[in-house]
Amino acid sequence: MTEHPRTDLRPTPADGATGHARLTAATGLLFVGLFVAALVLLHTSPGLGVADADYAAFYADGGGRTLVTIGTTLVPFAGIAFLWHLTTLRLLVRARTPTPSAIPDGLQLLSGIMFVVLLFVGTGAAGATALLMDLTNAPLPSVGIARSLSGLGYGIVFVYAIRGAGMYAITSTTLLAKAGLLPRWAAVVGYLLAAVLLLATTFNPAVVLVFPAWVLLISAMVLVTSRSTNPDQEGVA
């Protein structure tokens, strides 16, 4: 029997899944790059426990505080990239499982948005003094006020935003595993990284870097598995 060429050029589910996987990986890499760069720059600010004289000297000197200002302004772009990553990941899951489990699906969306909002608020508070000094002619606020703003920012990011990231990692790992987009070992690693985000009680920046590590893992896995698995060929001998 002569085979006729395909005349219906509409995308197949496999085409859609592959495209969404590429976007998920690309936006994930963009988020990681912007997020890590912002954290490195923000980390140049003085710690909460430094002497008052050193704290005031840092913000009086334009060089160091300018790095903090740049890091603060990079955070919104990292957040935008993350929202793209969140959306394309959800589209990828739906291309493989049109009706994902309602509870992890809903919690994933809410926790992802919560992470971005808290990240913006926390880094905005932590970088407020540097922004004030770099972008206005206002006098340097008292060390007590500057330190309080930094402490507020640290608390929002390390106590609240990171928990939102942990919940996002758990629910996303669950959705991707059920969609067949994560091998078992990657799902286990994803859950372990999520547990670190949920349970860590420290201001060490290394904890924050766990989340971009999880995003890198997921981005690589969905790209590989979407290429190696074609839904249209499943079950065909």
pLDDT tens for 150-174 read 999 999 999 999 999 999 999 999 9
Alpha carbons 200 and 203: distance in angstroms, whole number: 9
Alpha carbons 25 and 7: distance in angstroms, whole number: 31
pLDDT tens, position by position, 178-226: 988 999 999 999 999 999 999 988 888 889 999 999 999 999 999 888 7
> Would the CA dihedral through 88, 90, 92, 94 be positive or negative?
negative
Q: What is the pLDDT of residue 55?
A: 83
Alpha carbons 10 and 8: distance in angstroms, whole number: 6
Do residues 52 and 136 lie in contact, with contact meaning Cβ atoms separated by under 8 Å? no
The residues near 36 (Cβ < 8 Å, ≥ 6 apart) are 209, 212
pTM of the model: 0.85
pLDDT tens, position by position, 32-71: 999 999 999 998 888 888 888 888 888 887 677 889 999 9
pLDDT tens, position by position, 76-119: 999 999 999 999 999 999 988 888 889 999 999 999 999 999 99
Q: What is the pLDDT of residue 164?
A: 96
Closest CA to 219 of 2, 35, 3: 35
Q: What is the pLDDT of residue 41?
A: 93
